[in-house]
A and B are shown apart, each in its own frame.
Chain A
Amino acid sequence: MMTREQFLNELKAALNGMKEEELEGVLSYYGEMIDDRVEAGMTEEAAVKAMEPVKEIAGRVLEEAGMAEEKPKNTEKGNWQRIARPADSVALLRVQAECKRIRVITEEDAAAEVCLRYCIGTNDIYQLHEDGGVLTLEHKIRPVSSFVNEKKGENLSLEDIFSGVGKLLTGLGERIVNGGVTIFTGDSQENEIEITLPHTFCGKLHLTTSNARISVEDLTATQPMVLSTSNSRIVASNLNCAQDITFTTSNGRIVLDDVNVNAAHLTTSNSRIELEDVFARDQIVAATSNSGISAEDTEAGGLLSLSTSNGRVELSDVDARELVIKTSNGSVSGSVKGKREEYTVSSSTSNGANQLGSFAGGDKTLRVVTSNASIALEFGE
């Protein structure tokens, strides 16, 4: 469990690089928020827990301060590598990476090639393997210790270690927290891997990374897709997949916009799940914690399950054969497609108004459970 002090220290670490004055403002603001909650009767622990996750706060603050702006791509500089293979020779693509960002894009006129592009900085270690149609690219970031080790033999002073870290800090990469030390991932130009696939990709796509954002744009895939990362977001837009997609992260959002799949399994923690224009022939199962879920124009042929805790669930024109919504300490509101009489409904909350109630009706089922908050769902005309 985190104390006020720990929370503020983590926030400070996450905002490393920010101007002193701005940083003080943010810290005193959140310190005051916790103090006022404690004064209102909460325990320190509960007051800290009521704050959003540090990563999310830092992300927003930095975004607002214009520090999180994405740098324009500079392909002229740096040691860029490009690997291309005929698409039909790659059955499964596997990327394991610690980089900042993995972008999966498609090109209209791509010559049926699978192409990986990445930039090698002095702190990047890349290894490529190919075996039986499996193309694997592994990326690792050289730890600070090995950087410092290079200076061994010389008389290593404390200043040297700090100047080593300082040198790493001059890079523009994503910050990675390693054992409590905040370091920048060095001087790689981009610290991102770009994967270009033909518009229709017949192989399996399997990406495993950590602390890195994964984004997928404009892709039509015929095989299952598995994306997993941690402490960062997964974003998919204009994605078609004939089979199932499985997205797993933690402490980062999952955002789906204009997605058409057989089934979607989405799991994160301490962050939001946002669905817009998502259609699944079979089921959609989305789970997070300590944050909200929103679903707009989202439809599942079978089960549509949205579950979280300590967060509200907002629906707009959502449709499913079996709709299950579970949360706590957050309201459930919005609209469900289809007429009231098409549904058999059961709903329950505590310490909150329940405008939905429970009743027997049609074949579709709707189950809503929350606590300490209201339930208000409307049906279509």
Chain B
Amino acid sequence: MDVQMKRGLIEACILKLLLRGDSYGYQLVREAEEVLSISESTLYPVLRRLEAAGALTVYSMEHNGRLRKYYAITEAGKQKIRDFLTEWEDVMKVYDFIRRDA
């Protein structure tokens, strides 16, 4: 798959997972398995980019005597999901068109 496209898909998936509630790294990797497999080293830059874009915020909370980082979706993140869905409606139209004539 095209790198740029894959990047967009992973970002949208992570945001969607955060829509279910705040989450942490390991849980995100496991839950993402449902739709696409991503490794820890793929997830890290994605989280960094989403944070830089203001789509999520990070906070640390104590868990079993250690600090764990949690990620929470922001309003900008929710907007990003809506943008994604609108954009992909057009993509799906093209997909259907190509599929019909193939």
Given the known inter-chain contacts A39-B64, A51-B40, A52-B39, please indicate yes or no for A33 contacting B45, CB distance below 8 A. no
The verdict on B68 contacting chain A, using a C-beta distance below 8 Å, is: yes
Pick from B26, B48, B69: contact of A37, CB under 8 Å: B26
- Is there an interface contact between A52 and B41, defined as CB atoms closer than 8 Å? yes
Write out the residue numbers on chain B whose beta carbons fall within 8 Å of the beta carbon of A35: 66, 68
Closest Cβ–Cβ distance, residue B13 to chain A (whole Å): 18
Q: How large is the interface on A (under 10, 10 to 19, 20 to 34, 35 or more residues)?
A: 20 to 34
Check A29–B44 contact: CB distance below 8 A.
yes
In the complex, B37 has a CB within 8 A of chain A? yes
Selecting from A57-65, A201-209, A320-328, A346-354, the interface stretch reads A57-65
Q: Are B40 and A26 in contact (CB under 8 A)?
A: no
- Cα separation A26 to B29 with both chains bound (whole Å): 16
Instruction: Please tell me if A30 contacts chain B, counting CB pairs below 8 Å.
Output: yes
A52 to B27, CA, bound (A): 17
Inter-chain contact B40/A64, CB cutoff 8 Å: no
- Known: A29-B25, A36-B24, A52-B41. Contact between A64 and B66, CB under 8 A? no
Contact of B48 among A32, A36, A64 (CB under 8 A): A64
Task: Write the A310-352 contact mask toward B (1 if CB under 8 angstroms, else 0).
Answer: 0010000000000000000000000000000000000000000
Q: Does A28 contact B (CB under 8 A)?
A: yes
With A28-B69, A32-B69, A39-B64 as contacts: A56 and B41 at CB distance below 8 Å: yes
Would you list which residues of chain B between 7 and 27 have a CB under 8 Å from chain A? 24-27
Contact status A64-B26, CB under 8 Å: no
Question: What does DSSP make chain A's interface, helix, strand, loop or mixed?
Answer: helix
Residues of B with C-beta under 8 A to A57? 40-41
Nearest residue, chain A, Cβ from B45: A64
Alpha-carbon distance between A312 and B67 when the two chains are bound, in angstroms: 32
Among A32, A40, A56, which residue has its beta carbon within 8 angstroms of that of B24? A32
A32 CB contact (under 8 Å) in B25, B41, B42: B25
Separation of A32 and B26 alpha carbons in the complex (Å): 8
Q: In the complex, what residue of chain A is closest to B29 when comparing beta carbons? A: A33
Per-position binary interface string of chain A over residues 28-50, scored 1 when its CB falls under 8 Å from any chain B CB and 0 otherwise: 11101101110110000000000
Among candidates A26, A36, A40, residue contacting B44 with C-beta atoms closer than 8 Å: A26
Known pairs A60-B45, A64-B45, A64-B48; A33 contacts B40 (CB<8 A): yes
Q: Mark A5-43, 1 if CB is under 8 A from B, else 0.
A: 000000000000000000001101110110111011000
A-side contacts of B42, CB under 8 Å: 60
In Å, the complex CA distance between A40 and B67 comes to 16
| Residue of B with least CB distance to A35 | B66
* Cβ–Cβ contact B26 & A33, under 8 A: yes
Please give me the 6 A-B residue pairs with the lowest Cβ-Cβ distance, nearest first: A36-B26, A64-B45, A57-B41, A60-B41, A33-B40, A52-B41
Which residues of B does A touch, CB under 8 Å?
Answer: 24-27, 29, 37, 39-42, 44-45, 48, 64, 66-69
Which residues of A come within 8 Å of B, CB atoms?
25-26, 28-30, 32-33, 35-37, 39-40, 51-52, 56-57, 60-61, 64, 312
Given contacts A32-B69, A39-B64, 9 further A-B contacts (CB under 8 A): A29-B44, A29-B69, A32-B68, A33-B25, A33-B26, A56-B41, A60-B42, A61-B45, A64-B44
Mind listing 22 A-B residue pairs with CB under 8 Å? A25-B48, A26-B44, A28-B67, A29-B44, A30-B40, A32-B25, A32-B66, A32-B69, A33-B25, A33-B26, A33-B40, A36-B27, A36-B68, A39-B64, A51-B40, A52-B40, A56-B41, A60-B44, A60-B45, A61-B44, A64-B44, A312-B37
